[in-house]
């Protein structure tokens, strides 16, 4: 088959690339231990998020479950990778865990991330994620879960 006869490929990366992407991230505790859903860890997450804009990183909506964290994050600094940001988040929460004498290891080494492709994607994911405490039988309504919220309103911006 010659180059002229080939079907053109979609250039997905060019199509979804944005200057400051919004990521959906999930990270789990080591051995899925139930060590996160406490007031001290929640306060640590909030403090970390409030300092984020100084480092050009923003946490949007989040849910802190007993054994994992879901969050939407935007990083507007090309010198800071998502992996570096996640390591900082884990370190901040680990500091609170150490103060509660929760032994290491506290985290799985890896994390899951997904680049959102639009505002609809963010809304759809958030509606699913916020129901996690309900599906886990922790509360009857997602609004009753004390370890969730939105810190910075993130907006998906496509390149024009």
Which of these CATH numbers, 3.90.1640.10, 3.30.479.30, 3.90.950.10, 3.30.70.1290, describes 20-150? 3.30.70.1290
User: pLDDT digit string (tens) for 88-145?
Assistant: 999 999 999 999 999 999 999 999 999 988 777 888 999 999 999 999 999 999 999 9
In angstroms, the CA 138 to CA 77 distance is 37
Cis peptide bond upstream of 105, omega within 30: yes
CA distance 11 to 142: 38
Cα(49)–Cα(154) distance, integer angstroms:
13
d(CA 100, CA 82): 27
pLDDT confidence bin for 21, thresholds 50/70/90: confident
Residue 48 near residue 92, CB atoms below 8 Å = yes
Q: Which residue has the tokens 């958030």?
A: 126
Structure confidence at residue 86 as a pLDDT band (50, 70, 90): very high
61: closest CA among 159, 148, 158, 157? 148
pLDDT of the residue at 111: 95
Identify the burial level of 100 via C-beta atoms within 10 angstroms of its C-beta, where 0-12 means exposed, 13-18 middle and 19 or more buried.
exposed
Residue 158 confidence (pLDDT): 55
Q: pTM of the prediction?
A: 0.82
Q: How many CA atoms lie within 13 A of 135 on its CB side?
A: 7
């Amino acid at each position: 088959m010659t180059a002229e006869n080939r079907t053109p490929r979609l250039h997905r990366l060019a199509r979804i690339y944005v200057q400051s992407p919004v990521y959906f991230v999930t990270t789990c505790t080591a051995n899925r231990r139930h060590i996160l859903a406490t007031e001290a860890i929640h306060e640590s997450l909030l403090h970390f998020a409030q300092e984020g804009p100084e480092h050009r990183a923003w946490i949007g909506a989040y849910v802190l479950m007993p054994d994992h964290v879901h969050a939407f994050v935007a990083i507007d600094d090309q010198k800071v990778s998502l992996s570096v940001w996640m390591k900082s988040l884990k370190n901040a929460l680990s500091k609170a865990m150490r103060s509660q004498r929760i032994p290491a290891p506290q985290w799985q080494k890896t994390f899951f991330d997904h680049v959102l492709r639009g505002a609809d994607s963010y809304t759809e994911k958030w509606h699913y994620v916020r129901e996690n405490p309900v599906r886990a039988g922790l509360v009857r309504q997602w609004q009753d879960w004390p370890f969730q919220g939105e810190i910075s309103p993130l907006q998906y911006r496509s390149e024009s």
